[in-house]
C-alpha cells in the first residue's frame, strides 16, 4: 500500500515537471488592434463591431426575445379565458 502511494507521488512529480518545463506558446498581443477597432467612431454600435458573429448573436437574441415575449402573452391570454365546459 505504501509502496503504491510512493510510486504515485513519484509519477505525479515527474508529470508535473514535464508539464511545467514544456515550451510555452507565444501568442501575439492583439489588444491594441481590438482597442482601435472598438474605439473607432464609424456609427456602428459597439455590440456589433465584432463582425458577423456579433451580428448573428444579436439577431438570434432578438428573435428569441421577441418570440418568447409573444409566447408568454399568448399563454397569459389563454389562461385568462378558460375553456367552457359542456
Q: Where are the domains of the chain?
A: 44-81
* pLDDT computed for residue 26 by the predictor: 86
Report d(CA 52, CA 63) in Å as an integer: 16
Grid cell listed for 47: 455590440
Residue 31 CB neighbours (<10 A) = 7
The tens digit of pLDDT for each residue in 17-65 reads 555 555 667 889 999 998 998 898 989 898 888 899 999 999 999 999 9
Does the model's pTM come out above 0.75? no
Amino acid at each position: 500500500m505504501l509502496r503504491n502511494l510512493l510510486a504515485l507521488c513519484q509519477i505525479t512529480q515527474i508529470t508535473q515537471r514535464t508539464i511545467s518545463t514544456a515550451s510555452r506558446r507565444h501568442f501575439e498581443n492583439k489588444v491594441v488592434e481590438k482597442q482601435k477597432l472598438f474605439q473607432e467612431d464609424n456609427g456602428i454600435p459597439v455590440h456589433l463591431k465584432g463582425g458577423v458573429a456579433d451580428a448573428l448573436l444579436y439577431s438570434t437574441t432578438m428573435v428569441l426575445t421577441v418570440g418568447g415575449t409573444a409566447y408568454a402573452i399568448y399563454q397569459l391570454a389563454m389562461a385568462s379565458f378558460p375553456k367552457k365546459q359542456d
